[in-house]
Each structure stands twice: as C-alpha cells, then as structure tokens.
Structure 1
Amino acid sequence: MIFDVSSAASSAGELANQTLSFELTRLVESLLQEFALFLKIILEFIAISIIAISLAIALQQLWQKAKRGRLKDAQQAVRLELGLSLALSLEFLLAADIAATAVSPSWDAIARLAAITGIRTFLNFFLQKEVRELEAMNQQIRENAES
C-alpha cells in the first residue's frame, strides 16, 4: 500500500479550512447574539425611561394643578400625554422582543413573540383609541372655552 503524501496534505488543508470556516461562523453568530442582547437591553431601558419620565411629568403636572384647585381640568390632559408616552414605550418594548427573537428563532421563541406582539398590539390599539377620544374631548373643551 502506497501512501500518497500530497493527497493527505490536501485533505488536511481542506479540513483546516472547514474548521476555520466553522469557527468563524460560530464567532459571527456569537457576536450577533451578543449585539441583539445588547440592543434588547438598550431598547428596554429606553422604554422604561420613557415610562418613568412620563410618570414623573404627569405627577408633577397633577400636583401643580391640584395646588391651584384645577385638578379636574388637568386630568384629561395628563392622561392624554401619559397615554401617548405609554404607547411609545410599548413600541420600544416590541422592538426589543423582535431583536431578541431575530437571532434565535426557535418555534418556542416565535410563539412567545407572537403572544407578546398580540397582547401589546391589543393594548396599544385601545390606548390609541382612548388617546383619540381624549384629544377630541380636549378639542371640544377648547372650542367651548373660545365661544
């Protein structure tokens, strides 16, 4: 039996190339997963910040109006602003969920994303509906005040 050195060297080179390619692919996948996790955390931080800042502003506005005895007038305007902020934060949370699912789309993750998306879309729909109603009421109040 004659051992072909050039064939063995060629096979070893191909194996090394395949191993390098596999390792490079794993590295890129790992970096992509880390970036998606980082992006998810940033988007969730933005959403929570929007909620916290909006809540602080709403409470401050209510406090100022209550001191002047105009709490009832302020409630609708504050609810409108807070509702818009909550809708915006829901969009950021949805983006965070999509970013997290995009890199590891198992059926379990996709089903979880579908459920979360459905719930958040449902919440956002009714939140936007309430915001439109509050805007219409505020417009009517302004028109009545001008008359």
Structure 2
Amino acid sequence: MELRQVYLDTVAQILEVCGVLAIVAGTAFALCEAVRNLVRHREGEKIFDLFRTRLAKSILIGVEFLIAADIVGTVTIDPTTESLGKLAMIVLIRTFLSFTLEVEIEGRWPWQRHRNRHKDD
C-alpha cells in the first residue's frame, strides 16, 4: 500500500472516530444535563425536550463526520463504480437522517427558516 493510501485511510478512520465520539460525548452531556435539571426539580417536559434537542444535535454532528469519513474512504481509497454506488446510498441515507434530525431540532422545515426571519425584522 502506498503512503498516500495509508495517509487517507488514517484520515478516514480518524473522521469515523470523531463521528462516534461526537455522538457518545453529546449523549453523555445531554444525559448529565437532564439529570442535573431533574435534581433541580425543573419541569419534566422541558427537560425531555432539551434532552432530545441536545441528543439530536450530537447525532447530527456525528453523522456529518461519518459522511466525511465515507467520502474520504471511498473516493480516495477505493474509487470503483460499485463502491461509489454504495457511497451514494450511504450518503443519501445519512443525508435523509440529517435532514429529519434538523427538522426535529428546529421544529420547522429548513426553507421556512428564512421566511420566519423576515417576519421578525
């Protein structure tokens, strides 16, 4: 294996680890924050909503890292037609997941964000 491939494979693995760490760390922080709010006797529904939002954001960041890892790993290391087809399916699925998580976090469609900003001005 040539040095370039070793380097790019390492970059892809680092991106994968970053994605997993973002999800794990975000989940841990969201859980800690929820427990802290429960101990302080805050409103349960607000605690749950905040937990879901924090968790969704950490998953979203993790998915973005994982998509980057897939792109680096597939396009630069093994650019066959079959692997590019698999990459396209993975990116499509993860993009759909990212889109639905963003809708969950924001509570509206992405194209509605700009419309609401102009109403606030």
- Do both proteins adopt the same fold according to a TM-score greater than 0.5, normalized to the shorter chain? yes
Give identity over the alignment, percent: 32
TM-score, reference length from structure 2:
0.81
User: Separation in 2 of the partners of 1:55 and 1:84?
Assistant: 9
Amino acid at match of 2:102: Q
State the Cα distance separating 1:69 from its structure 2 match: 2.6
Gaps of 5+ in 2: 109-121
Higher relative contact order, structure no. (Cα contacts within 8 Å, ≥ 6 residues apart):
2
Q: Deviations over 1:61-84 (max 9, x none)?
A: 111122233232211122112212
Structure-2 residue corresponding to 1:117:
91
Of 36, 39, 44 in structure 2, the residue corresponding to residue 67 of structure 1 is 39
Q: Deviations over 1:36-66 (max 9, x none)?
A: 1100110011111111111111111111122
TM-score, reference length from structure 1:
0.67
C-alpha contact (below 8 Å) 2:23/2:61 kept by paired residues: no
Structure-1 residue corresponding to 2:11:
39
User: Separation in 2 of the partners of 1:116 and 1:32?
Assistant: 24
SS of the counterpart of 1:63? helix
> How many equivalent pairs are there?
106
Structure-1 residue corresponding to 2:57:
84
User: Separation in 1 of the partners of 2:59 and 2:36?
Assistant: 22
Amino acid at match of 1:110: L
**C-alpha RMSD of matched pairs (Å):** 1.5
Gaps of 5+ in 1: 1-28, 135-147
SS of the counterpart of 1:113? helix
Question: Based on CA coordinates, which of the two structures has the bigger radius of gyration?
Answer: 1
